Amino acid sequence: MTPPPAIVLVSGGLDSATTLAIAQSEGFSVHALSMDYGQRHRIELECAHRVVRAAGVREHSILTLDLRSFGGSALTSELAVPKDRAAEDIARGVPITYVPARNTILLSYALALAEVKSAQDIFIGVNAVDYSGYPDCRPEYIAAFERMANLATKAAVQDGRSLRIHTPLIAWTKGQIIRRGLELGVDYSLTSSCYDPAPDGAACGRCDSCQLRLKGFADAGACDPIRYSPAV
Amino acid sequence: MTPPPAIVLVSGGLDSATTLAIAQSEGFSVHALSMDYGQRHRIELECAHRVVRAAGVREHSILTLDLRSFGGSALTSELAVPKDRAAEDIARGVPITYVPARNTILLSYALALAEVKSAQDIFIGVNAVDYSGYPDCRPEYIAAFERMANLATKAAVQDGRSLRIHTPLIAWTKGQIIRRGLELGVDYSLTSSCYDPAPDGAACGRCDSCQLRLKGFADAGACDPIRYSPAV
C-alpha cells in the first residue's frame, strides 16, 4: 500500500524536527513545507533544509513571503529580542516575538498544498505547555482552523476528503518532546532555536527560546549538541 | 472622531471595487490589500491600483506570493479557461478556475494586517449567489474563518479586540451589486473581470466571469464600460 501523503511544516527548530519524525513513524509520506517570511534568524531556513534532508524527505516546498512590510514583531523587524527573562515571565502573556497571524498564514499554505497533493493530513509542531504566550498555539485555535479548513476547499466540500491538523507535541513539555525525538533518532545538532544567533550561527543561550531549549535538554537528561556563544 | 480602520481586499474586479465603496460609505478608513499570486491575468493588479487610487485610498499593501508552484488551477497554471459555458454549468460544481485555499490565504494576510493596523474589520467581496462553485465563498466558510480568527491573534485573545469579516455582497445577484456600486459612484471602467483577456487588455466576453458580468450589467439596466474583444 502506498503510504498516505502528509504536509509537515518544518521551521528548522527542534519542535518541527520532532514532528517530522513522528509523522514518518506514523507511516506518512512527508511533503515538507517551510516558509521564508523574512525572519531575522535566517539560519532557521538552512536548518530546515538539513532536517528535511536528514529525514530522507525529497519533497520540500519553500514559500517566500515578506511579513516585514507588516511590522509588529521582533522576529521580523528591528525590535530588541528580550534576554535573560525569568521562567515565569516567559510563560506569561504574548511575547514580543509573536508574528501576527503567523500560524494562520502557515496553515493556510499547508491547506493549499494539501489540496494540490491530495493529502488529508497536516502536521504542525505547536506546543501550548512550555510557551503558552502564542494564541495560535492553543488546541482551541487548532480545532477552529481545522473546522474552517473543512469548509474551505474543494477537496473537503466536494470530494469528501476531510482534513486533519495533527499537533502531536501540543500537550508535551520540552523535555518530553526531546525524549521522544531522541527515541526516533532525530539529530538535534541540525536544528536551531535561538531568536538572536551570533553571525557564526552560535545560539545566544539567553533568549526565551534558548532558555526553554536548554531546560528541555536538562529535563530529558540529554546534552544539547548545538553550539552556544562562549559568554554562556 | 477618527474613522475606524478597515482592511479591504481589492482584486481589481467588479465585486471588490463595490465592496471598497461600501466600506467607505459605512464610515471606515480603508487600508487596501491586494495579492500578486502569479495570476495569469495580471491586468487585475493594474486595475486594483486604479480602483484604489480612484477611491482616494492612500494605504495599499501588495503581497507577492507564488501559488503557481502549487499548481492546480487554470488561473495560475496552463490549463485552458473554459469558454461559452451555459449558465447552469457555470452555477454547478467547483470550476477549474478555483485556486486552492485562495480566500483562506488572502484572509490570513488580511488578519495579520488588521492586527498590525489595529483594525477590527475586514471586508471581502465574496458572493455565493451567481457563482456558487467556490467553497470558500459561502457564508458558513466565512463564519468559520471569523471564529478561527478570533482565537488566533493577540489582538482578539489578549486585548479583546474581536474581529469581524464583512461580506456585504454575499447574498446579492451580480445585478444588485452593480446597481449598488453605481449608486455609490464606482467607476466600473477601471475594473477587470475576464479570466482570459487579450494582450491589449480587452475582455474575452466568453469565459464564465465575463458572462456573469455582462448579464449583471444587463440586469442592472446599465452599460458595461470596459472593452471586449471584437469577436464578441
Domain assignment of residue A231, yes or no:
no
Q: Beta strands B29-36 and B59-64: pairing type?
A: parallel
Domain assignment of residue B116, yes or no:
yes
A179: closest CA of chain B, how far (Å)? 29
Q: How confident is the model at residue B75 (pLDDT cuts 50, 70, 90)?
A: very low
Measured between CA atoms, the residue of chain B closest to residue A92 is B158
Q: Are B165 and B107 in contact (CB under 8 A)?
A: yes
Residues with Cβ < 8 Å from A50, sequence gap 6 or more? Answer: A12, A190
CATH number at residue A15: 3.40.50.620
Label each residue of A46-110 as H, E or C: HHHHHHHHHCCCCEEEEEECCHHHHCCCCCCCCCCCCECCCHHHHHCCCCCCCCCCHHHHHHHHH
Domain assignment of residue A232, yes or no:
no
Domain assignment of residue A229, yes or no:
no
Measured between CA atoms, the residue of chain A closest to residue B92 is A158
Q: Are A66 and A38 in contact (CB under 8 A)?
A: yes
Place of cell 487554470: B74
Residues with Cβ < 8 Å from B46, sequence gap 6 or more? Answer: B12
**Number of structural domains in chain B:** 1
Residue count (chain A)? 232
Residues with Cβ < 8 Å from A41, sequence gap 6 or more? Answer: A75, A192, A194, A195, A196, A197
Measured between CA atoms, the residue of chain A closest to residue B113 is A70
Interface test with B, best of A35, A148, A159, A161 (most B CBs within 10 A): A148
A-B contacts (CB, under 8 Å): 140
CA atoms within 13 A on the CB side of B52: 24
Does residue A216 register a pLDDT over 80?
yes
Domain assignment of residue B40, yes or no:
yes
Give pLDDT tens digits for A98-111. 667 889 999 999 99
**Listing from the earlier edge strand, what are the strands of the sheet with A29-36?**
A59-64, A29-36, A5-9, A121-123, A164-166
Mean pLDDT of A69-89: 57
Burial environment of residue A100 by CB neighbours within 10 A (0 to 12, 13 to 18, 19 or more) = buried
Give pLDDT tens digits for B76-116. 444 455 667 666 665 555 555 566 788 999 999 999 889 88
Q: How confident is the model at residue A75 (pLDDT cuts 50, 70, 90)?
A: very low
Domain assignment of residue A228, yes or no:
no
Lowest mean pLDDT among A77-86, B114-123, B136-145: A77-86
DSSP secondary structure letter of residue A189: G
β-bridge partners, B32: B8, B60
Q: Are B124 and B134 in contact (CB under 8 A)?
A: no
**A108 closest CA partner among A152, A60, A56, A69:** A152
The two counts, helices (H) then strands (E), for chain B are 8, 5
Q: What pLDDT was estimated at residue B5?
A: 97
Lowest mean pLDDT among A112-116, B153-157, B186-190: B153-157
* Domain span holding position A170: 5-220
Domain assignment of residue A225, yes or no:
no
Q: What is the ipTM metric for this complex?
A: 0.84
Give pLDDT tens digits for A172-193. 999 999 999 999 999 999 998 8
B153 contacts A101? CB cut-off 8 A: yes
Domain assignment of residue B147, yes or no:
yes
Phi, psi of B109 (to 5 degrees): -65, -45
H-assigned helices in B138-221: 139-152, 154-157, 174-183, 208-220
Whole-model pTM: value is 0.86
Does residue B18 register a pLDDT over 80?
yes
Q: Are B191 and B13 in contact (CB under 8 A)?
A: yes
Q: What pLDDT was estimated at residue B14?
A: 94
**A204 closest CA partner among A184, A222, A185, A226:** A226
**A175 closest CA partner among A126, A228, A130, A108:** A130
A152 contacts B101? CB cut-off 8 A: yes
Q: Report chain B residues whose CB lies below 8 A from the CB of A109.
A: 101, 105
